Structure 1
Amino acid sequence: MLGIERRREIMKLLNQHQKVYVQDLSKLFDVTDETIRRDLEKLEQQNLVKRCYGGAVINDHTSQDISFLKRIDINNSNKVYIAKKAEHLINDGDTLMVDASTTCLALLRYLKDKKDLTIITNSIRLINEFVNSDFKIISTGGELRAHSYALVGPIACETIKKYYVDTVLISCKALDIKKGLMESNEPESIIKRQMIEQAQKSILLADSTKFDKTAFTKTCDLAQIDTIVTDKEPNIEWFDYIKENDIKLIY
């Protein structure tokens, strides 16, 4: 395995587990501890990790904007679990707005047998994957953020404002009881905020690693969300807040 390939695999492990250990990695890749230390040093120079005693942790800034291709490999089993849990929330004939998140893409893969679904989305990946499906797909248009395969900007927002839908499906970079839903970048946060405004109900798909975290920019208050679908039982503080605000929780 080439060094660049090994470092890519190390980043996948870090995205899944937040921390890695030199000895574990040397056994996994069948190389010396010193080789792994050099790999971690190079990743630290790229501002991707922070080395610590015996290993490294992921360098997770509030504004860290992970590419779609990297995000699609992060916590993939959790996304599949969430998608299966959320499938029954969508009915034949529903009109949907869907963001450009990898978790929402996972859910759409379980909705292929639903009939007469209309989907308005700013995700070019979603459009490409379901081009031959029975979904009626409306693209928002707009400026392409190639990093995330998302269409953003004034044109996308104006398109969204033309429609009123049954449900919006969104994910987020982070969520906090007091700070609400947050994103790593302003353009996609604005799109999600507008989608929420146009929908009768809002469904948030968020794995447990995003709870009690902070990201760069606020999208909306948690009270604007009708249903949260996640992969693990949240703590008692979340239960109390969800009950007080009449939010449905599925895990």
Structure 2
Amino acid sequence: MTGAEVDQQSRWRRLLDLLSTRERLTVSQGAELLGVSPATVRRDFSELAARQLATRVHGGVVATSVAYELPARYRLAENDPRVRIARAAAAGVSPGAVIGFNGGTTTTAVARHVAQRPDLRDSGVTAVTNSLNIATELVLRPYIRTICIGGEARPESYELHGPYAAVLLKELRVECLFLGIDAINAEAGVTCGHLGEATVNAEMVRAAQRVVVVAHGAKVGGYALARICGSSDVDELITDDSADASEIDRLRDAGVTVTLV
């Protein structure tokens, strides 16, 4: 990423932080607060509007997304490998598809990139999730039908879990599930650190025709407390090129399609 691109991302984060408290910004206010030219702010406003993180109005922008209100762990810099993973995952969503998300930083990024695809606005998509923050973001998009799986909210991850979630999932069918994890291992399978989340995630896997694990390279090759599913239940792993090469080979030998970004 060039220095200019880094500066741009920094300005965007600052503008979104300002919008979270002011709800509306004019071009002149943005230029004064950021110490840049009005022309630069106009371009930034247009980019934020194109990404549906703000709505362009005469002379400025107003807030339309809660993305900037989320905890810091859900905000990713543009050069974070999880952004590349999310972009690659979102590119595979077909117009009109029924897709699923569990909670997590990477799945949140995937959902956000799906929401930003202009080609989905006419046909729309249906999103099924047990993540409160993902549901809150997607419900703002009128072309995305958002189905939130009920249950008890876990504040550490914003995920809903419990028997009600499992009961609802038995009645649903999802074309593609984007699954965030704590670890994936060819032998141990897919695991996470929380028993309740593992149970709901396992039901989401059973409800999905296709399972796409999205995880940064550090999660490839390890294992966590609770098993979600076997590696044979995973159709594709999208990860970055820092993942352990020997474990990638073992996963491919187990029948998992691995996409490195």
1:212 equivalent to 2:221? Answer yes
Q: Given the alignment, which residue of 83, 87, 100 partners 2:86?
A: 83
* TM-score using structure 1 length: 0.68
Residue 142 of structure 1, CA deviation: 0.9
* 2:150–2:165 contact (8 Å) kept in structure 1: yes
Q: 1:151 to 1:174 in 2, by over 3 A?
A: same
> Residue 125 of structure 1 aligns with which residue?
133
SS of residue in 1 equivalent to 2:113: coil
Q: Mind listing any 5+ residue stretches in structure 1 that lack a counterpart? A: 1-67
% same residue: 23
> Residue 44 of structure 2 aligns with which residue?
none
CA distance in structure 2 between the aligned counterparts of 1:74 and 1:183, rounded to whole angstroms: 21
* 2:166–2:200 contact (8 Å) kept in structure 1: yes
Matching of residues 161-200 of structure 1 within 5 Å: 161-200=170-209
> Residue 225 of structure 1 aligns with which residue?
234
Residue 85 of structure 1, CA deviation: 1.6
* 2:220–2:244 contact (8 Å) kept in structure 1: no
SS of residue in 1 equivalent to 2:205: helix
CA distance in structure 1 between the aligned counterparts of 2:251 and 2:194, rounded to whole angstroms: 26
Residue 75 of structure 1, CA deviation: 8.5
Residue 182 of structure 1, CA deviation: 1.0
Residue 110 of structure 1, CA deviation: 1.2
Q: More displaced, 174-183 or 154-163?
A: 174-183
Residue 71 of structure 1, CA deviation: 4.0
Residue 73 of structure 1, CA deviation: 5.6
CA distance in structure 1 between the aligned counterparts of 2:172 and 2:183, rounded to whole angstroms: 27
Letter aligned with residue 72 of structure 1: Y
Q: Mind listing any 5+ residue stretches in structure 2 that lack a counterpart? A: 1-69
Residue 233 of structure 1, CA deviation: 5.5
Backbone CA RMSD of aligned residues:
2.0
> Residue 51 of structure 1 aligns with which residue?
none
> Residue 153 of structure 2 aligns with which residue?
144
SS of residue in 2 equivalent to 1:93: coil
